Amino acid sequence: MGRGRRLSGSQLSDPRRAADSQAVAVDGLLSRMKTRTIRVWSWVHKWSSLVSTAFLLMLCLTGLPLVFTHELEHVLLDEAWAPADPGGDGLNLDQVLDVALSRHPGDVPAFMSFDEDRPVVNVTSRAPDAPAGQFNFQPIDQTSGDAAPLVAGHPVMEFLLQLHTDMFLGLPGMLFLGVMGLLLIVAVVSGVVLYAPFMRRLPFGALRLEKAARTRWLDWHNLLGIVTVAWVLVVGATGVVNTLATPILAYWKDTALADLAAAHDAPAAVGEWASLDQAVERARAALPGRTLQFVAFPGTDYSTDHHYAVFFHGDTPLTTHLTTPALIDVRTGELAAVAESPWYVKALSLSQPLHFGDYGGLALKIVWALLDLAAIIILGSGLYLWLTKKRRAT
């Protein structure tokens, strides 16, 4: 037999001592691993928060009035107006389009939308050589063809919306804010992971008001962060989806509508288009029981180069945000297809109102605003805690 290590009498008489030594060693190793894990999560939480804090504060501050866009614009833009001939037959959609284009000769129509509370048709057109995003918007009284008061949006609200959406940088700005939204999600998840080990000696929601200012702000930061975690994740995720609107619509157009576009050789000129009024009626017959929302003309992001895309929505608080287009061949005026929106377009349609709490009326908007204020406090307190810690370390 080979030589083995001799055991002492005490080890032979008490084998549990060796097992206890091993357990202590394992506990020490697990403790070191846990400490390392916490340090990693702390680093992730700190830097994901710091990198995105300034932009997230901007989004929260601009988003607060945007939650009440409809209410504020009703106050700021309330203007008494009555249609010229409320009892008349009114103009059909072809006549409305002719009126709009006659006021901007050479323009190509892009969209046509319909006011819900007044007989006004809004025609959006653009010059063929106009820069991207530059349109002419005309509200037209459908009873007479006269110009109606413009209620597109108050300049202040439009400014805040543009800043909130893309910081006046277009698609690059939208995608950048999408990355900031992803960092917000990372910061929230890492904060939840860290909440238990950092608060294990305190009861849930404890506020040590007798302590120093930094400790009080830490407790408020932790409490508001854990209480609003679900809302922040919802708003952050829907915000990220909204920043992808342009590529999502481009993908939908290039995939779901590709077969319809491939069946035509060249786009038809505006003078060769079939009757818009008849096209809308055919689309209405294909989607009965739904409400007409808007028409996208050929060549826009919401249609192909060869079709009118006539969009309808439902009448419930949920389905009113889900649109379905009927595609009408612009040459023949015949129904080409009913293009049910794929899941990713539906996700985009639902994300936009959910992001601003635009589902349950004023009550839900007030809840959204209070949670937005809580998010501002979380971001501000997190920045304060980092600055004070850095100052103390220095």
Residue located via tokens 């005490």: 10
At residue 2 the predicted structure's pLDDT band, cuts being 50, 70 and 90, is: very low
Main-chain dihedrals φ then ψ at residue 234, nearest 5 degrees: -65, -50
Got the DSSP string for 141-168?
Answer: ETTT-PBPPP-S--HHHHHHHHHHHHTT
Task: Give the span between the Cα atoms of 59 and 127, in whole angstroms.
Answer: 33
The residue that leads in pLDDT, 179 or 86, is 179
**Least confident stretch, 56-70, 227-241, 242-256:** 242-256
Task: Give the span between the Cα atoms of 351 and 363, in whole angstroms.
Answer: 19
The residue that leads in pLDDT, 389 or 135, is 135
Residue pair 386/52 in contact (Cβ under 8 Å)? The answer is no
| pTM of the shown model | 0.76
Residue pair 221/53 in contact (Cβ under 8 Å)? The answer is no
pLDDT at 13: 47
pLDDT at 264: 62
Residue pair 236/185 in contact (Cβ under 8 Å)? The answer is yes
The residue that leads in pLDDT, 13 or 243, is 243
Q: What are the residues whose beta carbons fall under 8 Å from the beta carbon of 312, sequence distance 6 or more?
A: 283, 284, 287, 290, 291, 292, 293, 323, 324, 325, 326
The residue that leads in pLDDT, 156 or 297, is 297
Here the contacts of 351-359 (C-beta below 8 Å, separation 24 or greater) are 351/237, 351/238, 351/239, 351/241, 351/242, 352/238, 352/242, 352/245, 352/321, 353/321, 354/234, 354/238, 355/235, 355/238, 355/239, 355/242, 356/63, 356/66, 356/67, 356/69, 357/67, 358/70, 359/317, 359/318
Highest mean pLDDT among 6-10, 22-26, 81-85: 81-85
How large is the average pLDDT for residues 266-270? 76
Copy the structure tokens of residue 158.
Answer: 């439009």
pLDDT at 1: 42
At residue 367 the predicted structure's pLDDT band, cuts being 50, 70 and 90, is: very high
Residue pair 187/180 in contact (Cβ under 8 Å)? The answer is no
Q: Provide the percentage of residues in the chain whose pLDDT is more than 90.
A: 39
Residue pair 111/93 in contact (Cβ under 8 Å)? The answer is no
Asked whether the predicted pLDDT for residue 265 surpasses 90, the reply is: no
Asked whether the predicted pLDDT for residue 194 surpasses 90, the reply is: no
Q: Where are the alpha helices (DSSP H) in 167-228?
A: 171-198, 213-227
pLDDT at 33: 52
Task: Give the span between the Cα atoms of 333 and 278, in whole angstroms.
Answer: 7
Average pLDDT, rounded, for the chain: 84
For residue 124, the SS3 value is strand
Task: Give the span between the Cα atoms of 129 and 132, in whole angstroms.
Answer: 9
Residue pair 104/125 in contact (Cβ under 8 Å)? The answer is yes
User: pLDDT tens for residues 311-364?
Assistant: 998 877 777 878 888 999 999 999 988 877 888 888 888 898 888 888 777 888
The residue that leads in pLDDT, 168 or 361, is 168
At residue 5 the predicted structure's pLDDT band, cuts being 50, 70 and 90, is: very low
Task: Give the span between the Cα atoms of 242 and 170, in whole angstroms.
Answer: 13
Identify the CA nearest to 296 among candidates 259, 272, 325, 339. 325
* CA dist list (Å): 247 to 146, 178, 190, 231, 255: 37, 12, 29, 26, 12
pLDDT at 14: 55
pLDDT at 153: 67
**Beta-strand runs (E) in 220-365:** 291-296, 307-313, 323-329, 335-338
Task: Give the span between the Cα atoms of 36 and 47, in whole angstroms.
Answer: 17
Asked whether the predicted pLDDT for residue 203 surpasses 60, the reply is: yes
Copy the structure tokens of residue 208.
Answer: 């040590």
Asked whether the predicted pLDDT for residue 285 surpasses 90, the reply is: yes
pLDDT at 235: 94
User: pLDDT tens for residues 89-110?
Assistant: 889 999 999 999 999 999 999 9
